[in-house]
A and B are shown apart, each in its own frame.
Chain A
Amino acid sequence: MDWLSAVSLDGLAAVDFRWLGLVLELILMPLIAFVVGLGLVLMLRKIAARLQRRVGPPLLQPLWDIIKLHAKETQTSHGLIHEIGIVMAIGGYVAAVTLLPVPGMNGLAAQGGLIALLYMTMIPSLGLALGVGQCANPNGSIGISRALTAMLAYDVPMVIVIFGVAFHFGSLNLVYLIAAQQAGGIATWGIVQMPLLALAGLFALQGMLGKQPFEIYVAPAEIATGPMVEMGGKFLGGLFVMQCFQLYTAGVLYVALFLGGGENWLTFLFKVFVVTAIPMTIAMVFPRYRTEDMVRLFWKWPTMIGLLGIAFVMN
């Protein structure tokens, strides 16, 4: 069968299979993000339960919740934009996670970079905001107005952090950032080289995840969970999916900026889970801040710490 092997080998050599690898990455990355995100959600609920001396939910609870919500037999829609909003909320994150390099997969990190990623993650928020707006419920609109204000608050330290890291390594390319951090072991990690920025980043992370004390936009007893007030069934299910992605994105971004990304999956996941556990642990011992107090806090301490960090980075 000489001819057969010759033909097939020639054929293989002629076709460039690199694009296939990329397509595979683009499919795998959101899937992994979702699964890891489910784990993160479970971890958050477990931490909350343990801090309250409860047992907490079983292993697959986040999955059951999502299945149940999607399988609701009657679902309440407030119109096309309500639906499109959820589609955008999920879709935006599915796209955004392909810009985040994970061990062995770079996805589209070279085409986007840090700023593109930051703004890409605003697309789901925009979709959610549109969807909530169409619900014609003022509780939802108040929630969105608070959530956007919160974004204004935590994004100021966040962009300071991103500036500092990008300037320090001289690149906006996440692949390059990770490679530069891994070059010299822990000594070249962002958190060692820029501890002040890492601290400011952790602060911003707390706001980004919308965890206590910064969850005024949900405020269940006051505005009935704000943006989620009219979300039931698959609408709420979509938001649960989005939450998985959101936790993953925030955790991986922090790991990529300060903890040298992942050398392999084991250390990578370990870092991601540890990073995401910090805000949750802090959250459970705090009540919530009012919107203006939150803005004041974010524009004062993390911003000052971040600017100080930049001053060190630039000199």
Chain B
Amino acid sequence: MTHIDQVPTPGAPRPVEIGVKPGTKRTNPFARVFDELVRFAQSRSLFMLHYCTGCGAVELPPAMTSRFDMERLGIQPMVSPRQADILLITGYVSVKTLKRVILTYEQMNSPKYVIGICSCTVNGGMYWQSYATAKKLNDYMPVDIYIAGCMPRPEAVIEGLRGLIENIRTGRADAWKDYYRRYDHYLGNQQRLFGADWQTPTDVIAEARHYDLFGPATLGAHTALLEQHQRPLEALEMRIEIPELMRRRSRSDQGGTAQ
């Protein structure tokens, strides 16, 4: 673990222009209809990964089962981050847990939404004075909706989810893009908490490049620090390397990840 002084302080988060403004529409009418359809489908089908960190988790079973039945709204629980759309953080997040939460968040496929349930995710709640608890969830990942309360009743949970659905349908729920565009900011906060050698298995910067989600604040001092010690994370590309046909190529330029 590196000392905390090695991590540059993030300072005040710079205001960053996010490319797509909320609710903007494409001009081509067919594309608009298509976008509407996709957004509607996205809003009516939400797979939920509940990371049951704290006491708030106990409010979810009633929200899912016969009394309130989330499936009416197209919301159902899923198991692995790859399958999920919503990451539900249901309570206080200790530093150790937060690492896993970030790993899980980065493994989800976008568009992805984070919902912080319970006051602990908003400001640490009753764990405000704890040395081991992350106070504000949205310092470490963009949060779409907070559902405050200690704990919020299932009605409140459903109400919050309805709000998220409305946001998705109108195209306003794109906080996930912020993670790519201001990665340096989030990474900085993470590094301050976990140390300078903090690294997740997901290569967020390469992902931003691949999907054209690169923003002006994706890179910065913190990502530079990350690059210093980062284990390479390129995918193992399939390569057909028949020695007889490859003799002219030198071994050095063949890439591949050495770990």
Contacts and interface: CB of A to CB of B under 8 A. Distances in A.
Interface of A: 45, 49, 52-58, 60-61, 63-65, 67-69, 71-76, 78-80, 220-221, 224-225, 228-233, 235-236
25 contacts: A49-B69, A49-B71, A52-B65, A54-B65, A54-B66, A54-B69, A54-B71, A55-B72, A56-B72, A61-B44, A64-B40, A64-B41, A64-B44, A64-B45, A67-B37, A71-B41, A72-B110, A221-B79, A225-B79, A228-B79, A229-B80, A230-B82, A232-B81, A232-B83, A236-B83
Contacts of A52: 65-66
Nearest to B237: A79
Nearest to B37: A67
Interface residues of B, number: 31
A75 B42 contact: no
A187 B221 CA distance: 80
Contacts of B84: 232
| CB-based closest 7 A-B pairs | A232-B82, A67-B41, A53-B66, A64-B45, A54-B69, A68-B45, A74-B110
A250 B17 CA distance: 53
B65 A75 contact: no
Contact of B38 (A67, A228, A236): A67
B242 interface: no
Nearest to B236: A79
Interface of B: 37-38, 40-42, 44-45, 65-66, 69, 71-72, 74, 78-85, 107-111, 207, 211, 235-236, 238
Contacts of A75: 109
Contacts of A225: 78-80, 83
Nearest to B212: A73
Contacts of A79: 235-236, 238
A219 to B, nearest CB: 10
A232 B109 contact: yes
Contact of B211 (A73, A224, A230): A73
Given A58-B44, A231-B82, A73 B111 contact: yes
Contacts of B71: 45, 49, 54-57, 61
Nearest to B41: A67
Contact of B111 (A54, A72, A221): A72
Contacts of B45: 61, 64-65, 67-69
Contacts of A228: 79-80, 83
B109 A72 contact: yes
Residue in B71, B72, B74, B235 whose Cβ sees the most chain A Cβ within 10 Å:
B71
A76 B74 contact: no
Nearest to A46: B71
Contacts of A65: 45, 74
A233 B109 contact: yes
Contacts of B85: 68
Nearest to B76: A57
Contacts of B42: 68, 71
B74 A57 contact: yes
A314 B42 CA distance: 55
A61 B74 contact: yes
